[in-house]
Structure 1
Amino acid sequence: MSYQILDQTNRRQLADALRNDTWVVACLCAQWCGSCREYDAAFRAWAERYPQHHFVWIDIEDQADLVGDMDVDNFPTVLIQLGQTVAFFGPMEPDTRLAERILLAQTQKTDGELQQEAISSAERRQWQEECSLFDKLRDLV
């Protein structure tokens, strides 16, 4: 299983997953959030079902320098990324079923389809500019 709780000592592991074109599924949460604590068990179980992907738990307060300008308004917020392309960014219900369907739909797309979608709307272009873990880690690792 590829699951990590991001901290200052293991960011390179996440950066390597992104550089190696591994699908990254990040949960952006906060320790004080009850919904996040409930989501954690489901997120870990989801990670166990998909060991070929890299799942990462990011506490937005502990990792504020990495999260930066990401617009995390609700918890949990999920980010799904392949390499430099953010395929999805948004709040989720505290249940992984919808997020899992989104991930499965994204992983079936070609690189060209992912790239086309990444620039298909103002919101998706904003994800590429403000939410890319690949770009954020480049400056920190």
Structure 2
Amino acid sequence: MSSASEPLLVACLCAAWCGTCKEYLPVFDAARDAAPPGEHFIWVDIEDDADVVEDIDVENFPTLLVARGDTVLYFGVLTPQPGLLARLLQAAREGNLKPQVGDAVVAALPARVRAMSSNA
């Protein structure tokens, strides 16, 4: 369970070899730079950080995770346009995203991403 006061965790699941991911990185970085204090933005390379991704099949890029605490608010592909990311994050900040109920591997992803970032 998470509290509305917990900061957002925003993770982009991409790959170093992906051209779309390379083009999206500045968009992701700009969203991080504009974010309120305390929000965590993490770039996850699905190959270098395969233990974090586990059995999640990332087929399209960028795949984005937005969570508050351990509650997944969004997990899916997001077309690489700055406006879409900004609107998604604003909706999450305003509490307008309903928690996603998915499989156990996706539900455990926020904790694995946080653990990865604390070990970096």
Please indicate the TM-score interval, normalised by the length of the shorter structure: 0.7 to 0.9
For 1:86, the aligned partner's letter is: V
- Structure 2: runs of 5+ lacking an equivalent: none
> 2:105 aligned to 130, 135, 140, which one?
130
Query: How many Å apart are 1:139 and its aligned residue?
Result: 8.0
- Structure 1: runs of 5+ lacking an equivalent: 1-19, 119-123
How many residue pairs are counted as aligned between the two chains?
Answer: 111
Query: How many Å apart are 1:54 and its aligned residue?
Result: 1.1
For 1:79, the aligned partner's letter is: L
Give 1:90's aligned residue: 76
Give 2:59's aligned residue: 73
For 1:69, the aligned partner's letter is: D
For 2:101, the aligned partner's letter is: R
Query: How many Å apart are 1:21 and its aligned residue?
Result: 2.6
TM-score (norm 2): 0.79
For 1:21, the aligned partner's letter is: E
Please identify which structure carries the higher helix content: 1
Separation (CA, whole Å) in 2 of partners of 1:67 and 1:87: 17
TM-score (norm 1): 0.69
For 1:105, the aligned partner's letter is: A
Aligned sequence identity (%): 41
Query: How many Å apart are 1:47 and its aligned residue?
Result: 0.8
